[in-house]
Chain A
């Protein structure tokens, strides 16, 4: 029997951006908040002086330990899913701060088009533009209504940026100026302008100058040290939950975080969430933490799995296409981030320097910024050149046709170490009836609970948008004067490698309970005191990196939770039939 603990106002599962923001906001408002984190306790000292490529980039020091739990993966309903066994195939954050600590920091907003994708697509191109089986829907909130939450997140994180010439409306400028420009970025921007495009500096969570956020937390200036993506910051210069929302929550005295606490169930009774059951992974002792409000902010994968393990909500059934939990799995990996790599014979760049979000970008081919009448896909994506700063193992790019090993490989990989640049496209990913999440019938975690199963395959939409992106990026790399240009190939099928942490959907938001699990406060339609926060709420994946939207949704949810604690009940009136299949 689990040991029952004292009831609190709010229990939050997960301590990444999503969990951190909700914790800080509610603790500030005076509520008692307990956050549970499966990973270990971490402080800034854990990331000081440990710039070690092998440990972090190649051995995935900061990623989820897969020994106790992973996911299984397959392409189609007919296949047997196999477990994703190694950390080179699976990237998900763990430990205090979650994926927010090892993220790169590129902080884009999704576009007004994304929030009303169904209506806007039909309006401009007619219903026929949407192929059978593509389950896009409006998000139940417009960009204009949502803008203030983006603004909140950017101010908390101190984002460094400049206005995107193609950009959506903003209520204010970025809180800090854009990052410095390296020669590689200058070259990218110059070439883009020559082609008539509108480049700007990537909005960055690595800060261009020291900054104090509205909660009084300090973020330092980025040193371009390059040990950034997949690392914690050595200098407190990367916006992450550890330097922002977690200390903010702690300062209130209303917040307690328990690490090494693996949540296994949401306790559910009479239509309400009663709390959660978790295991202290040091002792193996089970606890029940009762609460008035339960918040799942444990990343899209766990958010889905906990609902399924706890039998909450109507499970999605791909055969009938009914139900919601697990519906609309989507994400950017493998077929996204494709582009063209240029090799320069007489130009060298200081590629060992950089920062996670240092880069140039353009939105000329993002969202519905360009006419799709004669194109065989909808939506679009950003184009980026990023200078992460590569260490010596990661910088082994050679032109196509070079052997993968041996003397010729050695010579060319050394020659081109500082002479190659890649430009890529970050296309939006549309949802389909056949891409979904459920529990695996065979594989289990260390407690013998079923693993989460992903069923995901590509469609022509995915392949066509990828092809389009490769063409556009190739044009830019050509204009940049590369001597050799290698285009990426479009994969025919998803390879089950979950890279980059951009997986979403399954507990999606909307206005209609038939096609959404949560309302626009991320409150569950079926369980009014259960809020499911994170990328799990994305009905589709916009053509940019997700975290600004996750952060903004967390602010929106916090507002909803506070409202619920005061007033109770469903916060949004449902609207049936926002979507036609």
Chain B
């Protein structure tokens, strides 16, 4: 399905002329000297980015958040089941998704820096308080139609708790560590979390699973500056070009236009 970068790239040249012509009407006084100016002159002079086939050493692929290697390995195995390598292309591990998640958890998202974290945490307490065989379960919570984020734990803490529970559930069910279990066994464990059939202390298993799912996809497709989407391979699979100045000349185009991938680094360097 993925096509080679096609002749359609020529259209960028066309767009540039049009862009200059149109924006020249007004742009002068408003944007002078900004990155915009640099882009105008440089964006189309350089060659398309050609990715080196050789594996380039990536010094950022080290753990920043997870102290225990074992936790990180469970994370890697779980993300690979969520986003596996197949005919479409690389899976989560090859895309460096686990390193992406590790970095995210070490930062403001992982510590819930911009979320409201004041108590009381009524929902969790009620559920944990009268915990029955089913454990904390959105169905037994206050009558709200969705699981809401109502836990004292931040995302980093939820990941540690959840990953270790993946392992213990796997041990219980299959007598094996999560990373040693077979693919479909790992899936079975993950489904139990997704369906909230596992009980974690202080948070729903489902909440953990949602975070895991969300961050795995983010790691596959976010700008490579965050450490995932390695070599923009996620974007290549999707024929997503990456950030561009604009598509004034192409927006009306009827055919699908395939472009080479460019990252935010490419975009910013011209400033």
Contact = CB atoms under 8 A, between A and B. Distances in A.
Asked whether A and B interact, the reply is yes
Across the A-B interface, the 8 shortest Cβ-Cβ residue pairs: A223-B246, A210-B26, A51-B243, A392-B221, A353-B247, A348-B256, A54-B222, A225-B246
Contacts of A415: 1
A371 interface: no
Contacts of B148: 82, 84-85, 89, 496
Contacts of B83: 405, 410
Contact of A396 (B34, B88, B217, B241): B217
A209 B18 CA distance: 12
Interface residues of A, number: 81
Give the secondary structure class of A's interface. Answer: loop
A405 B84 CA distance: 9
Nearest to A396: B217
Interface stretch (B59-67, B68-76, B108-116): B108-116
Contact of B26 (A51, A65, A212, A418): A212
A75 B218 contact: no
B43 to A, nearest CB: 11
A418 B256 contact: yes
A404 B238 contact: no
Contacts of A358: 251
Contacts of B26: 210-212, 218-221
A491 interface: yes
A56 to B, nearest CB: 11
Interface centre among A44, A85, A218, A418 (most CB of B within 10 A): A85
A287 interface: no
A234 interface: yes
B161 interface: no
A146 interface: no
B7 interface: no
Contacts of A51: 243-244, 264, 267
Interface string A47-65: 0111111100011100001
Interface centre among A210, A350, A391, A418 (most CB of B within 10 A): A350
A494 interface: yes
B31 interface: yes
B133 interface: no
A65 B112 CA distance: 11
Given A85-B115, A183-B252, 18 more contacts: A50-B264, A51-B267, A66-B114, A67-B115, A209-B25, A220-B31, A221-B248, A223-B248, A224-B251, A349-B256, A350-B253, A392-B235, A393-B218, A406-B81, A410-B83, A411-B87, A414-B238, A444-B118
A418 to B, nearest CB: 6
Interface in A364-394: 391-393
A269 interface: no
Contacts of B35: 48-49, 234
B22 interface: yes
B187 interface: yes
21 contacts: A48-B271, A49-B268, A51-B244, A67-B116, A82-B122, A82-B144, A84-B116, A180-B251, A182-B252, A209-B22, A218-B29, A223-B247, A224-B251, A234-B36, A235-B31, A350-B256, A405-B216, A410-B86, A418-B239, A443-B118, A493-B145
In which size bucket is the chain B interface? 35 or more
B3 to A, nearest CB: 11
Given A49-B35, A54-B222, A496-B146, A224 B240 contact: no
Contacts of B253: 183, 350
A220 B30 contact: yes
Nearest to B34: A48
A86 interface: yes
Interface in B135-155: 142-146, 148-150
Nearest to B84: A407
Nearest to A392: B221
B115 A210 contact: no
A181 to B, nearest CB: 7
A352 B251 CA distance: 10
Interface in A429-472: 442-444
A226 interface: yes
A348 B8 CA distance: 15
B256 A80 contact: no
A58 B118 CA distance: 23
B89 to A, nearest CB: 8
Contacts of A392: 221-222, 229, 234-235, 238, 240
Contacts of B88: 410-411, 414
A221 B25 contact: yes
B27 interface: yes
B223 interface: yes
B50 to A, nearest CB: 20
B241 A352 contact: yes
Nearest to B88: A414
A262 interface: no
A25 to B, nearest CB: 23
A534 interface: no
B192 interface: no
A229 interface: no
B217 A417 contact: no
A87 B114 contact: yes
Given A350-B257, A392-B238, A406-B84, A495 B145 contact: yes
Contacts of B142: 79-80, 82
A353 B255 CA distance: 13
Contact of A66 (B23, B115, B225, B252): B115
